[in-house]
Chain A
Amino acid sequence: MSFSFDTKSQRFRYKTGIYAGRFVSRKDVQQIIETNIKLISNDINTITNLLLDNKISVSTWENAMAAAIKKGHTQSYLLGKGGTYQFNPKDKGILGNVLSIEYMYLRRFAESINKGELTKAQIKSRAKLYANSFHKLYERGVFESHKQDGYFWEKWMTSIEGEICNDCIAFSQLSWQRIGFFPHIGVATECKTNCRCTKVYSKAPTIPQTNILSTKNGWLYGSFNKRPIFN
């Protein structure tokens, strides 16, 4: 199946097949990210098990982890950005920066393992976190794509499926703000990489008006009942 990316709406469209011309739903795109997280999470698990069985050295493990992280981050960012045609040298720089930070954490992790400071369970759970961060990169790609396309406003939308922390709720209550006002998803919130919130964007010349009846924050939507903090 082939796809096209509509820069006006910042969404993917089916180009061929029975759905030709239709948009790929946001839910489907989220699902693809989650599937990719699971796939790379399995790779990371396999690599880590080899280390824990003393079949590979810490150095080999670090190399394999770095490769898996780079693959997951690049694929997620590309999906958020709208594919390789939208991927420009600036994006390479952004992705490179994010990767350097991840590699810095990976080096600290490898050093701790080398010194024998962690238990097997700690190593396994910490390694898992790397795959979980791919959603963050997808959202970063979406943000950069909108910003480069001239969008002015952004709004934080909490997710019903993922973990919602107090920071996410507070950000969602701030409604529309100038693009770049909020931190990137999964970076500066308490839920960190477990965050599955999203942002919506607008090109309106003045601050977009929010109609409480049409938002997920409204009482009519009933989403408050599903949030643990309000139970």
Chain B
Amino acid sequence: MNKFNPEVKSVLPSFMELIKKTFITDEDINNYIKDWNKSNPEYSGMLEAEPTIEAEGEQ
């Protein structure tokens, strides 16, 4: 079996650089929501669902 050899050998950035990307910012979340709404039009707005407010006095 032929192994794949990349033509250009690249130097991978330090692992710390990669780990820093695991931090989730509010901007990331907004972008993911926009992306979700675009790719799932039938279920757009699902990730921004507000909590259900129960009617007062209902037992």
Contacts and interface: CB of A to CB of B under 8 A. Distances in A.
A79 B46 contact: yes
B55 interface: no
Contacts of B44: 1
B3 A4 contact: no
B24 A36 contact: no
A178 B40 CA distance: 36
A114 B9 contact: yes
Contact of A74 (B5, B8, B24, B46): B24
B57 interface: no
B24 A92 contact: yes
Interface string B32-52: 110110011011111111111
A5 B52 contact: yes
B59 interface: no
Contacts of A179: none
Nearest to A103: B18
A49 to B, nearest CB: 12
A83 B33 CA distance: 10
B45 A1 contact: yes
Main secondary structure of the interface of B (DSSP, over half): loop
A116 B6 contact: yes
Contacts, number: 138
A84 interface: yes
A32 interface: yes
Given A12-B49, A57-B8, A57-B10, A66 B18 contact: yes
B15 A85 contact: no
A87 B29 CA distance: 10
Contacts of B48: 83-85
B21 A103 contact: yes
A3 B18 contact: no
A118 B6 CA distance: 11
Contacts of B21: 66-67, 70, 103
Interface of A: 1-8, 12-13, 15, 24, 32, 35-36, 39, 51-52, 54, 57-60, 62, 66-67, 70-71, 74-75, 78-79, 82-87, 92, 95-96, 99-100, 103-104, 106-107, 110-111, 113-114, 116-121, 123
Given A75-B36, A114-B12, 15 more contacts: A2-B45, A5-B50, A5-B52, A15-B49, A32-B40, A32-B43, A32-B46, A36-B39, A62-B18, A66-B18, A83-B46, A83-B49, A83-B50, A103-B22, A107-B12
Interface of B: 1-13, 15, 18-19, 21-24, 28-29, 32-33, 35-36, 39-40, 42-52, 54
